[in-house]
């Protein structure tokens, strides 16, 4: 006989006075309270395991973005010189996949492209001004690194662009703590 069948058989027995008791003298109310507590605690335990990923098979956790360096100073650059190019490292230091969902720059003179393994993103520019696909995304596995290739065209603004400049590149991801990472490129543009 199963424990559940025995439980229901015992509940059906009563003593004098009409209060239901089991063979061990416990009332129906005492049994129901203990059963309710057991069910509630079991539900809390299962929910906790599911929320924190301990009940999942495969990869658990979230991706976490790390950008290096956070800033690059190109120094003094001639407006007539070659384009300024710098590669920033984008690394996933989290336990799960990191999904990069968008890249944009602070000015039309700056573009960025992400390379992860053999996959290369479209060229991104100033938000709303570039031709990059709005449906683009790139996954970076835990421990994997991507290269953010940034190009600054110091001649695009002509003489109005002379002097100290700061250009920002924004990386949108599904990192819960840092959904928008930022790197900066600085320079002093001369004739």
Is residue 27 domain-shared with residue 88, that is, in the same domain? no
| Residue 151, CB-side half-sphere exposure with 13 Å CA sphere | 12
| The predicted structure's pLDDT at residue 58 | 39
Is residue 124 domain-shared with residue 76, that is, in the same domain? yes
Is residue 152 domain-shared with residue 71, that is, in the same domain? yes
Is residue 47 domain-shared with residue 73, that is, in the same domain? no
Residue whose token pair is 């602070």: 106
Residue 141 domain boundaries: 65-190
Is residue 73 domain-shared with residue 45, that is, in the same domain? no
pLDDT in tens, the chain (191 residues): 565 555 555 555 544 444 555 556 667 777 778 888 888 887 887 877 776 654 343 346 899 999 999 999 999 999 999 999 999 999 999 999 999 999 999 999 999 999 999 999 999 999 877 655 567 899 999 999 999 999 999 999 999 999 999 999 999 999 999 999 999 999 999 99
Is residue 128 domain-shared with residue 74, that is, in the same domain? yes
Is residue 125 domain-shared with residue 180, that is, in the same domain? yes
Is residue 18 domain-shared with residue 103, that is, in the same domain? no
Is residue 102 domain-shared with residue 78, that is, in the same domain? yes
57 within a domain of the structure (yes/no)? no
Is residue 80 domain-shared with residue 17, that is, in the same domain? no
Residue whose token pair is 């960025």: 112
Q: How far is the C-alpha of 108 from the C-alpha of 127, rounded, in Å? A: 9
| The predicted structure's pLDDT at residue 5 | 57
Q: Mind giving me the DSSP string for 1-64?
A: --HHHHHHHHHT-B-TTS-BB-TTS-BHHHHHHHHHHHHHHHHHHHHHHHHTTTT-SS--S---
CB–CB of 136/147 below 8 Å? no
CB–CB of 54/46 below 8 Å? no
CATH code where residue 85 lies: 2.60.40.10
Q: 66 is written with which tokens? A: 């790390």
Q: 25 is written with which tokens? A: 């003298």
Q: Looking at the 3D structure of the chain, how many domains does it have?
A: 2
58 within a domain of the structure (yes/no)? no
This prediction's pTM: 0.67
């Amino acid at each position: 006989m199963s424990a559940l069948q025995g439980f229901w058989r015992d509940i059906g027995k009563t003593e004098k006075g009409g209060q239901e008791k089991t063979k061990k003298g416990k009332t129906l109310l005492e049994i129901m309270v203990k059963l309710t507590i057991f069910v509630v605690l079991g539900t809390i335990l299962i929910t906790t395991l599911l929320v924190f990923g301990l009940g999942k098979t495969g990869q658990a956790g979230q991706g976490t973005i790390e950008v290096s360096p956070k800033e690059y100073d190109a120094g003094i650059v001639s407006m007539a010189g070659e384009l300024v190019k710098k590669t920033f490292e984008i690394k996933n230091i989290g336990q799960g996949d990191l999904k990069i969902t968008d890249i944009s720059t602070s000015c039309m003179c700056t573009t960025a492209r992400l390379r992860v393994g053999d996959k290369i993103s479209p060229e991104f520019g100033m938000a709303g001004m570039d031709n990059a696909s709005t449906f683009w995304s790139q996954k970076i596995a835990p421990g994997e690194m991507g290269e953010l290739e940034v190009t600054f065209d110091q001649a695009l603004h002509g003489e109005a662009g002379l002097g100290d400049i700061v250009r920002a590149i924004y990386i949108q991801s599904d990192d819960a703590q840092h959904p928008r990472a930022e790197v900066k490129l600085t320079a002093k543009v001369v004739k």
